[in-house]
Amino acid sequence: MNKSRTIKIVIIVLILAVAVLGYYYYLSNKAKAEAEEAAVTTAVQNVLMKDWERSYPPTPKEVLKCYSEITKCFYNEEYTEEELEALAFKIQELYDEELIANKSQQDYLKDLHSEIANMKKNKYTVYSYEISASTDVDYFTENGYSCARMYCTFNLKQEGSTGVISSMEQFVLRQDEDNHWKILGWELVE
């Protein structure tokens, strides 16, 4: 009887030990999962965290890639009014001073709001974008400035439609005094 009782106690202790270890494992994995969920950032937050004072895009193609990512955020993502303004100022960091000087900040934000509202009203999103290959960048000099000309195609998709509308734009960038490529302007290619 003693032997049988000892076996029962050992089995009960083992079951309790497995239960305690299982519960500990559950709690530790739950905490990790919650930490990972909290660490997930949105596309808007990823763009806003970029520090172009320390790490400005080095090539015209990279500048256009950053511009396109912000453009996707404008039309595809959810954000607060403060985040929208921060995105607007972030994209202006890619603009040449001459381009920024063409419009007051108030008019710039008003026009941006209007453009975004129009796209959302018509249920368009930026499905994807394609930037010219680095080998297709046309470098030239104008008025003593190094400039670059390249293309970017934005593919727009309307909710409920299976088709994609492509919009090709030609961008002109110019190097500033810090040798950073800045967007001087763009136009729709017919």
Instruction: Look up residue 76 and give its two tokens.
Output: 């595809």
**Is the pLDDT score of 45 beyond 60?**
yes
Please report which confidence band the pLDDT of residue 36 belongs to, taking 50, 70 and 90 as the band edges: low
What would the two tokens of residue 9 be? 């106690």
Q: What is the structure's pLDDT at 37?
A: 57
SS3 of residue 132 by DSSP: coil
Q: Is 108 among the domain residues?
A: yes
- Residue 22 falls within a domain, yes or no? no
Domain assignment of residue 89, yes or no: yes
Q: Which residues contact 123 (CB under 8 A, 6 or more apart)?
A: 158, 159, 160
Distance CA 54, CA 52 (A): 5
Question: Which sign does the torsion angle of CA 74, 185, 183, 126 carry?
Answer: positive
- Domain extent, residue 50, equals 43-188
Query: How high is the mean pLDDT of the chain?
Result: 89
The DSSP secondary-structure symbol of 46 reads H
Q: How large is the angle between the packed helices 105-121 and 60-76, nearest 10 degrees?
A: 60
Query: What amino acid occupies position 85?
Result: E
Residue type, 176: D
**Residues 129, 155 contacting (CB under 8 angstroms):** yes
Q: Number of structural domains, the chain?
A: 1
Per-residue model confidence (pLDDT) at position 143 = 93
- Please tell me the distance from the alpha carbon of residue 94 to that of residue 81, in angstroms, as a whole number: 21
* Sequence letter at residue 4: S
pLDDT at 156: 93
Please indicate, yes or no, if residue 3 is contained in any of the structural domains: no
When pLDDT is cut at 50, 70 and 90, the band that residue 16 belongs to is: confident
Average pLDDT for 17-28: 75
Kindly state whether residue 131 falls inside one of the protein's structural domains: yes
Residue of higher predicted confidence among 141 and 13 = 141
3-state secondary structure of 138: strand
Tell me the CATH number at 77: 3.10.450.50
Kindly report the three-state secondary structure assignment for every residue of 73-106. Answer: HHHHCCCCHHHHHHHHHHHHCCECHHHHCCCCHH
pLDDT at 27 (0 to 100):
77
* Residues above pLDDT 70, as percent of the chain: 95
Does pLDDT of 30 surpass 80? Answer: no
> What is the structure's pLDDT at 113?
94
Residue 35 lies in a domain: no
The mean per-residue pLDDT over the stretch 65-79 comes to 94
Q: What is the pLDDT of residue 160?
A: 85
* Contact call for residues 181 and 94 (beta carbons, < 8 A): no
Average pLDDT over residues 107-117: 94
Question: Are the CB atoms for 43 and 73 separated by under 8 Å?
Answer: yes
Q: Is residue 29 part of a domain?
A: no
pLDDT over 80 (residue 23):
no
Q: Stretch 98-118: mean pLDDT, rounded? A: 93
In a domain, 11, yes or no: no
Average pLDDT over residues 80-106: 94
The arithmetic mean of pLDDT across residues 98-124, rounded, is 93
